[in-house]
Copies of this chain bind each other. A is one copy, B any other.
Amino acid sequence: MENKSQPKRPITSYDVARHAGVSQSAVSRCFKPGASISKATRAKVMKAATLLGYQPNAIAQGLITRRSNLVAVVISSLTNLYYPEVLAELTQRLAVHGVKVLLFSLSHESDVDLVLQQVWGYRVDGAIVAARLSPEQIRDFQKRGVPLVLYNRVEERAPCDSVCCDSAGGERQLVGSLLEAGHHHFGIIAGPVDSYVGEERVRSALECLATAGKRDIPVVRGEFDYQTGRAGFKSLVEQTGGKLDAVICANDLMAIGAVDAARHDFERDVPSEVSVVGFDGVGPATWLSYNLTTIRQPVRRMTEAAVTMLMARIADSSNPPERRLFSGQLLPGSSARFTT
């Protein structure tokens, strides 16, 4: 049997008004928080609305109240395992404020140009952006009056609200512990060149190593995924002629790839022969086969902060910007040999 039910046109406030025997503006007031309306009229309207299955159109209401109740979330690499957690937390926290996420997903951080035109088109109430924005792009948000919170990045040249995990502080803990435990031959697996957090982490790790007199550290680039972490380890072994006892990775997924490369491709014990450290504290970092030594970002506190800041900025755009910097937590794990 075929399903022949034809979709109907949506029920409008005019239909409800006709059915309830009241004016359209009475229906409209009935669904507007704080608007004045008599008890009797409200009862008539609600009865008709329920009967007809009427839902006030949130978007049309947004045009009236100048609020769309949509927030753009711009995120790169949804398959990177760190961002799904961030997105799930943001979506649920924004829902508490009656706000939905309009999702913009990028393959690369630098693709953000392509989506900004679309962001303007939707008249969002605000945006949370975890992608690389130029100072001009940030100023464009300000010129257009679109509240913005940067997630895990800051731009010194164009101050705006931001929430970050302390990359420098995290790397200092990791590299400091590796040095203290007597590691000599370091290598780094960096992220893509357009990744803000990736570059921050590598810059900070190299600084810590330089302070300890260690220079000319080999750096190879990956794409924040398992495969390029595994390939990166191989490149480092080749570049160093195998003289490698500590590998610093710009995120956990590449560290997991490096651990597997060490064990399965090169038959080196982790951590007794080579230590591997990551960054993020994603779920798989704690799996027994890896038990990664890493820095866990406080994702719940960071997303809570981003949503709170954005809602405050939407309510009052006149405050000067604020930066919130959260320290990560060292997960000692067992992929690095540390002095206890």
Q: Which residues of A are at the interface with B, using a C-beta cutoff of 8 A?
A: 2-10, 53, 55-60, 62-63, 68, 70, 73, 78-79, 81, 83-85, 87-88, 91-92, 100-105, 107, 117-118, 120-123, 139, 142-147, 158-160, 225-226, 230, 256-257, 259-261, 263-265, 283-284, 287-290, 317-318, 320-321
Contact = CB atoms under 8 A, between A and B. Distances in A.
Contact of A68 (B59, B81, B117, B283): B59
A317 B288 CA distance: 50
Contact of A55 (B84, B121, B317): B121
20 contacts: A2-B159, A5-B139, A6-B317, A7-B142, A7-B146, A7-B317, A8-B143, A55-B120, A58-B123, A60-B123, A63-B63, A70-B102, A73-B103, A88-B105, A91-B104, A101-B103, A102-B102, A226-B284, A230-B288, A261-B288
Given A159-B3, A260-B287, A289-B290, A10 B123 contact: yes
A58 B68 CA distance: 12
Contacts of A145: 7-10
Contacts of A143: 5, 7-8, 53
Contacts of A289: 259-260, 263-264, 289-290
Contacts of A104: 91, 100
Contacts of A102: 70, 100-103
Given A79-B88, A85-B79, A88-B79, A117 B284 contact: no
Per assembly, the copies of the chain total 2
A59 B63 contact: yes
A59 B288 contact: no
A118 B100 contact: yes
A121 B57 contact: yes
Given A7-B146, A320-B4, A103 B91 contact: yes
B92 A84 contact: no
Which of A8, A101, A225, A284 has its CB near the most chain B CB atoms (within 10 A)? A284
A107 B93 CA distance: 13
A320 B4 CA distance: 7
A49 B4 CA distance: 46
A123 to B, nearest CB: 5
Contacts of A4: 320
Contact of A81 (B6, B81, B259): B81
A107 B85 CA distance: 12
Which of A3, A4, A62, A142 has its CB near the most chain B CB atoms (within 10 A)? A3
Contacts of A144: 7-8, 10, 53
